[in-house]
Structure 1
Amino acid sequence: MNCKQSILSAAIVASLGFAAQLHAQEVATAPADAATDLDTIVVTGIRGSIEKSLDVKREAKSHVEVITAEDIGKMPDKNVADSLQRLPGVTISSAGATEGGFDENDRVSMRGTNPSLTLTQINGHPVSSGDWFVLNQSDNAGRSVSYTLLPSSLVSQVLVHKTSQAKLNEGGVTGTVDIITRKPTEFAETFTASGSVGAVYATLPGETDPQINALLNFRNEASTFGVLVQAFSEDRTLRRDGVEVLGYDQIAPGSASPLAGVWYPRAIGAALFEQKRERRGGLVEVQFKPTDNLSFDLSGFVSKLDASNYNRNYLLYNPRILGAGQLPLPGYVVRNNTLVSAEFAPTPGVNTGLYDMISRPDESASTTYVAFEADWKASDKLNLDFKLGTSTGHGETPTQDVAEWTVGQGTGASYALNGIDRAPSFNLNDSTATPPANLALDWIFGLQNLDIEDKDTWGQIDAQYFIESGVFESLDFGVRVANHDRESANVVAQGPNWGASPFDPATFPQGYSNYPGDYASGLGGNFPRDIWYFTAEQMAAWNAVQANRDPVVRRYPFYDFSLEEKTQAAYVQANLSGDRWSGNVGVRLVKTRTEVLQYVPGGTTTTPGAIQGSAFGIFSPFTIKNDYTDVLPSANFRFELSDTLVARVAATRTMGRPDYSALAGGLNLSPPADENDVGGGNSSNPNLKPIYSNNYDAALEWYYAPRSLLSASVFYMDMSSYVSQGASNQQFLTFDAAHPDGYLGNYLVTSPINAPASAKGIELSWEQPLGEHFGFNTNYTYTDAEEDDGDPVVGASRNTFNLVGYFENEHFNARVAYNYRSHFYSGLDRRSAFNQDDTQSVSASVGWTFNDMVSVSLDGMNLSNEKLKYYADNKDQPRGIYNNGRQYYLNLRFKF
């Protein structure tokens, strides 16, 4: 155990001793923990939801935040992630990585860190999640859960654990979000039917789509048997208008160019993204209690998000201008060592533009789980809980219909970067309203048959033994075994079908459409707007003939891999209580075994397991195995300083495993010249260590009136092995003429590496009713997070702020919410930094309750029509500006 672990352990022991000294009298029964009896009280309305949430938070022995549904099937927001962003220390984003944000929030993170460091569970068990976007399925695949797969109508309560406990599953470096669904035997009536029928209108596409949710529940009079069935069908139409800068290149320092060392935009494009999202699924749960001491629970969930989309990007392409040595005309502008404005003379043979059309007609993501739980009260002192389950997620891109067209042939070009508040300006001096007469095909690309399967299986036994001796209230202990498997196989990288003459203009699609007339309205800048394009149907028909998708010849083993993680865990946790204090101290022991299979270029026809017949060469399997054992101590204490004042302190050690794409993913290698040489390349890193963090947390909570809270907390996380980017020495099986059977070659590879980092901050929160019907809540979080060398931590916003005001009486309710998040680093994209600028949003909802059975609500999102803005190393290097428009949800809800 290292020094920092020893300090943490000493802090826990010291805290235990301090708590024992404060103890003055024992308590005879165990107070309710945060996860106890969550489903036994049905609350309705905004005020009831706030009251229930604060009650659970106040009584919890560890530091938690709570969101409670206002009624059956009604969370405070249409999206669970939107509700979570209103909590102190919680941030959300509408993108999984560096693809730029959309109009629905998708990822949740805590305390200024990467969403992958936050563990999301449903009812205390894992949920495997797929991603619909192709790059997040492969190159940027993280461990965060996509909240787009979970309708808020299924949720009863959400618990956000800001401090860890030994009995909580490992994986949440910065915290755990536990989404709790309703239970059949919790309902007040023996039969309940509820649901909603509504529609969503999105202003940018101008489309209205249906949204339907239904719930049926039955329980017997004795509440010993119950069946719950929920189903949902929700459609949405999206459109995103944007101007993108696809990375920055540098003119070689020390070259003869007058612009030596200057950075320039690699490509600037007018991008139009359109998508249809269709979410279908449901939840079934059965509870049975044959005796007073034994109960069973079986649940199953399925969600499928069909996310067909079409992205068009009309690009000025600088690698064929500046990258080929052509200099701009006099009058160019360099600012912040960036060529922010330039004009290029028409030059025969120099093609200044590319036009990408990428249609993904059947892209999708899905999640399923089946979970079984048995609770047995073995004696008056011993309770046993058994859990078994499996969860599977898929992210699929079966087909990409793609063409990259050459435009701007010999036309010259110009551009001007306008910071991040206005879109860049650019011009190719070429036809945009109609296809140019000299339109040519540049290439056909795009992965096909991409299906990332992610699967969890688990089994665990948890026990609670009531001691009731001195300060010891009870002892929790248990064991857990789990397997996590992730696989990508038989990926195809299409190319031109040379036998079909794809480069012959006579084969090009006939007829065209144009960007919408209001495209890019409000983005600023001067760039092409009325741009022609071939429809998705035209692209599908053309690619079916002109693209080579042969599963053998075009197989692309760089994206074939598998990751297997086997974990075994055991824990013991002492629950303590005394005079006006309580807490827990425990330790979790986790053993993890990993096995990563990748394919490296090289080998012969006799190499065992080699992939042969691909146009990209022979590929040989290479397996890397690792194992590690971790000791994770934790201590949480709660002190009742008065009848209204609660103080908390905690010291914990947590761990999380690196992102999937960091451990296993695409591989690109340049082999060494010989056995004594060192090769290079880009790669994942199967030898990454887990992310370890020593965490310290203190909070003060003042419950000064009903539905009222004034709180402050401080936190510090010392992450000794955060995952960053850098160069690492790795070995790969390498083949050459001298080594036909292969040898372990040395490579200096740019890949994820472990690096120390830290995050510290302050959280302030105020919940205040104003009379009987009005109220507000507000919170502010300050976070200072960075790697030890000063590089930013992914997802770290220094400032976040929320303000929510509400009104509610017997029939009418209204709420307005404002959220602000300062800029944050999202990672690298095309070798350039990708930072999201400050964001803010305003949402509102109004509702009318006719009676206990019928109500209607109207929710508005992004009412201020905010733009999403991104930049690279500084704001003179814009990366993108996007407009997603406003969205309105109208719902008629019923229950009986």
Structure 2
Amino acid sequence: MNICFKKSLLATAVLTATCSTSFSIYAQDSEDEVIEQIVVSGFRGSLIKAKDLKKESLGSQDSILAEDIADFPSLNLAESIQRIPGVTITREAGEGRQISLRGLNADFTQVQLNGMEALGTSSSAMDSRGTTNLSRSFDFNIFASELFNQIDVKKSYSAEMDEGGIGGTVKLYTAKPFDYDGFKAVVSAQAGDNSLTEDTSPRVAALVSNRWDDFGALFSLAYSKRDTAEQGYNTYRWRPRDAQGSDISALSQTDQEAVNSGDLRFSRGSRYSQFNSEQTRIGATLALQYQPNNNVLVGVDALYGKLDSERGEFHLQSRGSSSTALGCTGADYEGARNFCSRLTDIQYNANNEVIYSAWEDTALHSESRDQGATTDITQVVLNGEWSVNNALVLSGLLGHMKSEYESNSAKVYLESFADMTIDYRDDRFYGTNSYINGFDPTNIDEYRYHEIDLQEDKVDNSFNIAKLDADYLLTDHSTLKVGGSFKRFEHSNNKEQVGNALRSEWQSGEVSDVIDPSLVYVNDIHEKQAWLSADVNGVLDAFSVNRDLSYSDAPDEVVEETTAVYATYEHDFLLPDSEVRASVGLRYFDTDIESSGIVNGSEYVTVERQYDGVLPTFNLAWYATENLVVRASAGKNVTRPTLGSLSVSGTVNADPLFGSSGLSINSGNPGLEPFETINMEAGVEYYFDEVGYASVTYFQKEIDNFIATNVAPVAYGDTGYPLSLIDGMVDENGDVQTPDTIYTLSQPQNLAQSDFSGWEAAFQRDFDFLPAPFNNLGAIVNYTYSEGESLHNILVDGESVEVYRPFYGLSENTYNATMYYEKDNWGMRVSVAYRDDYLTQVETSSSDQDEAGFHGTTYWDFSAFYDVSDKLKLSLEGINLTDEREEQYSDSDDRLYNTTLSGRTFYIGLTYSM
């Protein structure tokens, strides 16, 4: 948008009409006379374009553009996006995986890819991080960043946008041929190294684009292969236990009484851990554009992405009573005696946490896991725009996207009994295990086979969408936008597992559990401890165990169909020395849901429901001066429940004499209402003449229908489950059950309203006012403060109690800062990203913990480039320079859950363009 003032403009930036980041800036003292032209490219050029996109947007928006063609200097998209104000990321194997926006976790951020909603699913090797993603959050680590040339983060909502992103909407764009003039070709190659691995981490990207008058074609490709490693120490959380049969006679009388009271908390698992992965990422895009005349433009965008991970996971862990070092364990090999561990020394703190313990004959397992996890994403989008006349523009989109995730996991356990100590006194978030009295965890003679566990997961998500929009110019200063869309989303989740394979045969002696030396090896990768690990596939082959399981014919499924229409009216008010742009809009949506799954392990059940809503929106931008913009927005939006919450699958206990819970149901809830929010924000932005701006924004969200697990009495007929499940059953009084029979229902429920608010400040500036050579310096700094709590019902001593906890994923304080120095042919920058502690889980009924989350982190990165010539560029990147520890905590008393380090990563590369 060009704002006209009566006074002459001394420096007006005129940007080229392409998406590349090379710009021409003209200094002028009249509209016709050009005095000087300065070409700005590279990192500074990308900042200029992003600044102008932010300024010209009617709503609150931040953007990132590639510094050069096929050049986002990050491992993946999440790490690129984290530099935007208010964005924080979670990490997997040292890479960004998911994003949170302004303190709301990834479930509240809608992701669009080339104009249509997208969902990509990957997984974590760690149970503590949630393993397979069954939410609506997008896993950004699937895609190489080089495939994209622009990312827009829309923080305020307008009626023409798809509903679904309470936190905001992230729009990803791949390159198109009309972005460039004529022929363009670029190839880049990098080699990398991580301090915990020994690979060269090749990374290659290429783009070829050309235009032939009214037709253009573009193809891009990105490939990377990278060995990753995370190592550390973790627990299965901490549990109050008594002696559990262990010999505690060596302890003082006071310590014996403390143990026998059952009040002391013992760490579970208490293990050294190593997570390795060979990760291959492949991506490709194809874009075609056809413009037969100035009024018609048709395009096709196709995208393919694949993330393939071959993982190895290794632990040396306690496996006594409840996975502590306590208790008596029958040795799982023929003729061996039972072992009851002996606790010979103990120290505990004021919270009754056992921070030091010495043991004899405690159960110890070596766990080895082999897992393959693959995500495939395909997308095809047909888009078109037709300028019917000077006043009316029609645009449309047809799109299909499919994400397929599949994993296959096999674990082999070796059993031993050890004399050892477990010590948290020096570092309460990184335990130290010492093996004493001659026990050697690398000695094959100390071990026998114990068990084999198998698991397969398959998650499919697909979107089909059709959109039609009309943009009508009512007057020179007002526009009416109307449109509609239809979207069909399908989700399927299938999980199969086999536990304790061969355990009984090894225990009975039917099959020998003596370990073949050719099927084990000394694992010495962990910096703290070496131990004996198994060749998982070798063991499976030796015992003829087939790890390929048969999936169920009746997976958990959710099908959503949404029809939406909208109208937005926008008006520009020209004032004497300023301009006001304002829009009001209304969006109506209607959603039908069909959720299917297995109940009680046998009956396939389908539940249908419908909901709709009206979403009013208002956005205003007052361009008070050439440099000053004041913004305000208000509106309503929704975020739909997570896929796991909508699952109909569950367990119905219709026998009042079975178990301790009586008549009860534990399940998902297809009847959930979506989260609803009233969004409000106001901000002030000041734009410097060339690169940079300063801004302050206040935001507030009132969220209704917040979802959390609830335990409550409910009439069976109100649960949505079929009456056939209680046919012929009686209640605790012997009466035949009816739809009015009361059950204890544990499932996700819509609870009370939650309020959420915060401040966001950002500063971006070239230091061109400094004397040379410091005038080539610049800085980008942003800070976000967020606060908000949600209601949870938890069980305390059998009673339901309401408690408030911070939103999942909310870090109260976050900031990003980048200092850069750039000249015509070389430049460098260093960046830091910080986030506070954040919550990931609230337990409704657990003796181990009341919550879990992550401690705060600070990540430092570095990047530099040198232009050897106009066509050849050298680059150097350093990621996680300080080898930051990721610490997961358990309970509000802040106990160790999981601590890992992922190492420092460095890349050196070159880019050649034609």
Structure 1 and Structure 2 fold alike (TM over 0.5): yes
Q: Does 1:804 align with 2:818?
A: yes
The one of 55, 60, 66 equivalent to 1:58 is: 55
Q: 1:231-277: per-residue Cα shift (whole Å, max 9, x none)?
A: 12111100111111112323499x99643344332221111111000
Who is 2:799 aligned against? none
Residue type matched to 1:867 in 2?
R
SS across alignment from 1:39: coil
Who is 1:434 aligned against? 442
Who is 1:404 aligned against? 413
Who is 1:785 aligned against? 788
Q: 1:67-107: per-residue Cα shift (whole Å, max 9, x none)?
A: 1211111124343222221121111111xxxxxx4211111
SS across alignment from 2:524: coil
Who is 1:17 aligned against? none
- What is the correspondence of 1:126-525 to structure 2 with a 5 Å cutoff? 126-133=117-124, 140-188=133-181, 190-220=182-212, 222=213, 224-251=214-241, 258-317=260-319, 318-319=321-322, 324=327, 329=343, 332-335=346-349, 337-343=351-357, 346=360, 352-360=363-371, 362-397=372-407, 399-408=408-417, 411=418, 413-418=420-425, 422-427=429-434, 431-437=439-445, 439-448=447-456, 450-468=457-475, 473-489=478-494, 491-493=496-498, 495-496=500-501, 504-506=511-513, 508-511=515-518, 512-516=520-524, 519-520=526-527
The one of 107, 115, 140 equivalent to 1:116 is: 107
Who is 1:4 aligned against? none
- What is the correspondence of 1:810-821 to structure 2 with a 5 Å cutoff? 810-821=824-835
Cα distance between partner residues in 1 of 2:46 and 2:169: 21
Contact 2:318 2:325 (8 Å CA) reproduced: no
Q: 1:589-630: per-residue Cα shift (whole Å, max 9, x none)?
A: 1111111111012xxxxxxxxxxxxxxxx6110112121101
Give 5+ residue unaligned stretches, structure 1: 1-22, 26-34, 95-100, 522-528, 602-617
Q: CA deviation at 1:548?
A: 7.5
Q: CA deviation at 1:542?
A: 4.2
Q: CA deviation at 1:587?
A: 1.1
Q: CA deviation at 1:181?
A: 1.7
Please identify, of 429-438 and 283-292, the stretch whose mean Cα deviation from structure 2 is larger. 429-438
Q: CA deviation at 1:286?
A: 0.5
**TM-score, structure 1 length as denominator?**
0.85
Who is 2:532 aligned against? 532
SS across alignment from 2:644: helix
Q: CA deviation at 1:303?
A: 0.7
SS across alignment from 2:55: helix
Distance 1:159 1:541, change over 3 A: same
Contact 1:405 1:443 (8 Å CA) reproduced: yes
Who is 1:725 aligned against? 709
Cα distance between partner residues in 2 of 1:419 and 1:145: 39
Q: CA deviation at 1:191?
A: 1.1
Please identify, of 118-127 and 711-720, the stretch whose mean Cα deviation from structure 2 is larger. 118-127
Contact 1:496 1:548 (8 Å CA) reproduced: no
Cα distance between partner residues in 1 of 2:268 and 2:429: 18
Contact 1:667 1:683 (8 Å CA) reproduced: yes
Q: CA deviation at 1:225?
A: 0.8
Please identify, of 399-408 and 655-664, the stretch whose mean Cα deviation from structure 2 is larger. 399-408
Q: 1:35-76: per-residue Cα shift (whole Å, max 9, x none)?
A: 996738755311111111111111111000111211111124
Q: CA deviation at 1:177?
A: 0.7
Q: 1:790-823: per-residue Cα shift (whole Å, max 9, x none)?
A: 2121100011111111111121110110111111
Residue type matched to 1:461 in 2?
L
Cα distance between partner residues in 2 of 1:489 and 1:876: 35
Cα distance between partner residues in 2 of 1:737 and 1:505: 48
Distance 1:737 1:574, change over 3 A: closer
Residue type matched to 1:416 in 2?
D
The one of 743, 755, 758 equivalent to 1:758 is: 755
Contact 1:184 1:287 (8 Å CA) reproduced: yes
Contact 2:593 2:610 (8 Å CA) reproduced: yes
Q: Does 1:895 align with 2:913?
A: yes
Give 5+ residue unaligned stretches, structure 2: 6-14, 24-40, 244-256, 329-339, 731-735, 769-774, 792-802
SS across alignment from 1:452: strand
Distance 1:462 1:213, change over 3 A: same
Distance 1:78 1:330, change over 3 A: closer
SS across alignment from 1:208: coil
SS across alignment from 1:847: strand
Q: CA deviation at 1:460?
A: 1.0
Contact 1:130 1:367 (8 Å CA) reproduced: no
Contact 2:449 2:513 (8 Å CA) reproduced: no
Contact 2:375 2:404 (8 Å CA) reproduced: yes
Cα distance between partner residues in 1 of 2:591 and 2:193: 47
Who is 1:865 aligned against? 883
Q: 1:143-186: per-residue Cα shift (whole Å, max 9, x none)?
A: 11111122111221111101001011111111001112211112
Q: What is the count of residue pairs matched by the alignment?
A: 816
Identity among equivalent pairs (%): 21
Please identify, of 199-208 and 68-77, the stretch whose mean Cα deviation from structure 2 is larger. 68-77
Q: CA deviation at 1:333?
A: 3.5
Q: 1:300-337: per-residue Cα shift (whole Å, max 9, x none)?
A: 11111110101111111352657759998576344353
Distance 1:583 1:534, change over 3 A: same
Who is 1:610 aligned against? none
Cα distance between partner residues in 2 of 1:664 and 1:199: 44
Contact 1:392 1:454 (8 Å CA) reproduced: yes
Cα distance between partner residues in 2 of 1:420 and 1:329: 22
Q: 1:756-801: per-residue Cα shift (whole Å, max 9, x none)?
A: 3222111111112112421111111111121154212110001111
Contact 1:385 1:462 (8 Å CA) reproduced: yes
Q: CA deviation at 1:726?
A: 3.1
Distance 1:40 1:531, change over 3 A: closer
Who is 2:866 aligned against? 848
Residue type matched to 1:531 in 2?
W
Contact 2:496 2:549 (8 Å CA) reproduced: no
Q: 1:669-690: per-residue Cα shift (whole Å, max 9, x none)?
A: 5444279995346433222221
Distance 1:214 1:747, change over 3 A: farther
Q: CA deviation at 1:293?
A: 2.0
Residue type matched to 2:816 in 1?
N
Cα distance between partner residues in 2 of 1:443 and 1:669: 31
Cα distance between partner residues in 1 of 2:763 and 2:21: 25
Distance 1:328 1:767, change over 3 A: farther
The one of 742, 745, 748 equivalent to 2:744 is: 748
Q: CA deviation at 1:879?
A: 0.7
Q: 1:838-892: per-residue Cα shift (whole Å, max 9, x none)?
A: 1001100111012221101011001111111111124651111111001111221
**TM-score, structure 2 length as denominator?**
0.83
Distance 1:701 1:432, change over 3 A: farther
Q: Does 1:577 align with 2:536?
A: no
